[in-house]
Structure 1
Amino acid sequence: MTLSTAPARATSLSPAQGIWLVAERELSTKLRSKAYLISTGVLLLIALAGIIWAGIASATPSSTPIAATSSAAATLQGVDGFEITDVADRAEAERLVTAGEVDAAVIDDAASPTGTVIIADKEAPQSLLMLLSESPTVELLNPDAAGGGMRYILGIAFGLVFMMAAISFGSPIATSVVEEKQTRVIEILLSAIPARVLLAGKVLGNTLLAMSQILLLVVVGTIGLIVSGQTAILQGIGGPVAWFAVFFFFGFILLAAMFAAAGSLVSRQEDVGTTMMPVTYLTMIPYFLVIFFGDNPVVMTVLSYVPFSAPVGMPIRLFFNEAAWWEPLASLALMLVACAVVITIGAKIYENSLLKMGARVKLGEALRR
């Protein structure tokens, strides 16, 4: 009696119930994994420690120890970044430099065109050279308000989070599909639910896991900024982070469908690396492009509209007020169109390749079947 009623219950599942059933299975499997929980905890601790360390380092001013004779010391008094030790003459200054007690010494010298001489062991501190050098006044007609250092930091932050999350949660989709094919479990699953429902459940479950990790990173980052006194950063980064989360959500769905399709093309774990390689490149390329071309406005504008790089490029442009109000909406619309197209193609590849065992299924064959 039990055997005869089991298929009836399986086939009575609605698509929504089937999708959530598969998604719940993906969530429970991951959340029961000690490796996943430990790696997530370590990631959060590293992020928190990095933010707090950066805040402490920026709040702790560093000073360069130098020696100076009376006239030179009077010139340097009140200048931040230098710890001045008064010396009587050149001999005493050279002794302190040789002993390593100071990084350099500034002494009076009437023979020098500037009236002073810097004495150092191997190399004079650049900050001291710049202070004592006379530079012409510079006037910029079109100053760049976007700081290069902050742009670089944001590029690393957004790009690395997107790349690592996509690979960490996308690759297991492909490997689980191959495992199900290799163990013939896929035949049992397909007898209960359609292939597209199975695909949707896998994508949904891993998307929820990825988004939960992103939200945890945002919470930990906010706590770290508040604890380290970097609250000024929070005032301008809230909007870009929100847009990053939105773009990441749809960008990950797009990549997850591609990972699942890549896994369905092979039947052995040894072969999955070759089919996943193109998708892996699509997750890595945006990170490196933003790092290398982050200060190029033309390249960044293009990257903010390409679906695979928009989750990184658009938030950075928004942070520096380089994008109009309608641009993230237009980019998101393109992302949604790309998601629809890629999911449709990926679902067809997935559906046509799941029961194909043995040799690797060619892409053209998977699309034609």
Structure 2
Amino acid sequence: MTTTAPTGQAAGTPAGRAPGGRQQLSGPQAAWIVAEREITTRLRSKAFLISTGILLLVVLAGVVIGGLVSQNGGFGGPTKVAAVGSAASGLEGAGFEVSAVPDRAAAEQLVRDGDVAAAVVPGGDTAIDLTVIATDSAPAELVQALSAVPTVELLDPSGTSFMLGYLIAMGFGMVFYMTALTFGTTIAQSVVEEKQTRIVEILLATVSARAMLAGKILGNSILALGTVVATIALAAVGMLATGQDLLLGELGTAMIWFGILFAFGFVLLAALYAAAAALVSRQEDIGSVTSPVMMLVMIPFFLIIFLFENPVALAVMSYVPFSAPTAMPMRLYLGTAEWWEPILSLGILAASIAVVLWIGSRIYSNSILRTGARVKLGDAIKG
């Protein structure tokens, strides 16, 4: 059986006045009170604090381990180096896996194919008359092992190695996916819990349904953005601690725009989570109504990982509201986006938020007091 009640006021009660003659709070004031309630409730939750702490530790560990691996040539044995002729003599007993090649062309080919980390060939304008050839950066341990600083030639100085690009794409995708999914699910559970326990009827005596929705979105958006900012700050500290200053400089603009686009993107997802959850009255039914929203979070996560080297796919994703928070920062890091493109992407995202909030507020307002069977989406929109 489904029961309905007027949203935001009792029957026979003048608009703007709660039962018993109490005046309803104004929209912004009521929304902020609800937001404060959401924030304090989350911050008092041990589960939330522990999960956030684990996420930050995982990010820090990933940055530190990545830095150490890049400095030490990675796990799995000594650094592989190709050497031409007499150049191999300077590397004997230095802990490198040396492969002898007949000429410079063969050495360059091994470097391009990724079979070796670098190559050492005779000739150069240094005292030791040697040149180190690498793809995008010379292994520090190889340069230090030579008795003098050799000439370094980079075959692709402006390029990004596949592994580094993959890790950065996964980093953006993972932070967006985990944070949006965690706080989006929190909003959905909060909406259904208040509806199931009928607390929402008490709350609606003093605040309107739209103010409640705005407060939930605002409170959880502040928490989600705070988590992302803490993650970015911790990643920056980890890069500085492991000597990845150059990488941090290259990622600076991308990380800033990631935080900005995430803030807007999460508002969009939060409105969808709250509106979808208002359609049901039991915690067991949350998954069935929020699964489409979950897919909107999950699909961009996989796309940014598998298509980060595809410029056309990244360009399209950077203007789709649900994938823009990950695709646009990745393009900024790769240097394939013009200065105005993040601004245009943000404008499209803001327009999408306006549309989704308008539809979501109707669904939420028309469904929040209807208990029992699941409310049909069409009925919720019509009212």
Alignment TM-score, normalising by the size of structure 1: 0.79
Report 1:1-369 matches (<5 A): 11-61=23-73, 64=78, 76-79=88-91, 83=95, 127=116, 145-369=159-383
Measured against aligned partners, the alpha-carbon deviations of 1:283-323 in whole angstroms (never above 9, x if no partner) come to 01111011111111111100000000000000011111101
Inter-partner Cα distance in structure 2 for 1:58 and 1:270:
46
Give the aligned length. 319
Residue 213 of structure 1: SS of its match in structure 2? helix
Is residue 244–residue 311 contact of structure 1 (8 Å, CA) maintained in 2? yes
State which drifts further: 41-50 or 343-352: 41-50
Cα displacement string for residues 44-101 of structure 1 (whole angstroms, at most 9, x for unaligned residues) = 12221221122122222476499xxxxx9956223599647xxxxxxxxxxxxxxxxx
CA spacing shift, 1:238–1:175, aligned 2, 3 Å: same
Q: CA deviation at 1:356?
A: 1.0
1:10–1:286 CA distance, 2 compared to 1 (3 A) = farther
CA deviation after TM superposition for structure 1 residue 29, in Å:
0.3
Distance (whole Å) between structure 2 residues aligned to residue 188 and residue 261 of structure 1: 19
Residues of 1 paired with 2:21 and 2:243: CA distance?
57
Unpaired segments ≥5 residues, structure 1: 67-71, 85-102, 107-112, 115-125, 133-141
**Bigger shift: 143-152 or 284-293?**
143-152
Deviations 1:328-368 (A, max 9, x none): 11111100110000111011100100111111111111111
Q: Is the 8 A contact 1:65 1:82 kept in 2?
A: no
CA contact under 8 A between 2:88 and 2:98: conserved in structure 1?
A: no
Kept after mapping to 2: 8 A contact 1:163/1:287:
yes
Amino acid at match of 2:200: I
Partner SS for 1:151 = helix
RMSD in angstroms over aligned alpha carbons? 3.2
What is the CA–CA distance in structure 1 between the aligned matches of 2:72 and 2:365, rounded to whole Å?
59
C-alpha distance in 2 between matches for 1:22 and 1:154: 36
Q: After superposition, what is the alpha-carbon deviation per residue over 1:139-165, rounded to whole angstroms, capped at 9, x for unaligned?
A: xxx998343222211210111111110
Residue 268 of structure 2 contacts residue 357 of structure 2 at CA under 8 Å; is this kept in 1? Answer: yes
Q: For residues 250-299 of structure 1, what are the alpha-carbon distances to aligned partners after superposition, in whole Å with 9 as ceiling and x for unaligned?
A: 10000000000011000111111100100000001111011111111111
Counterpart residue identity of residue 241, structure 2: V
User: 2:280·2:374 contact (CA, 8 Å) conserved in 1?
Assistant: yes
List alignment gaps of at least 5 residues for structure 2.
Answer: 1-16, 104-114, 122-155
Distance in 2, Cα, partners of 1:27 & 1:245: 19
* Distance in structure 1 (CA, Å) of the matches to 2:64 and 2:358: 44
In the aligned structure 2, how far is the partner of 1:162 from the partner of 1:65? 34
| Aligned mates of 1:317, 1:46 — CA distance in 2 | 24
CA distance in 2, matches of 1:80, 1:29: 63
Larger radius of gyration: 1
| Counterpart code for 2:190 | S
Aligned to 1:165, the other structure's residue is in SS state helix
Alignment-mate amino acid for residue 18 of structure 1: A
* Contact 2:18/2:205 (8 A) holds in 1: no
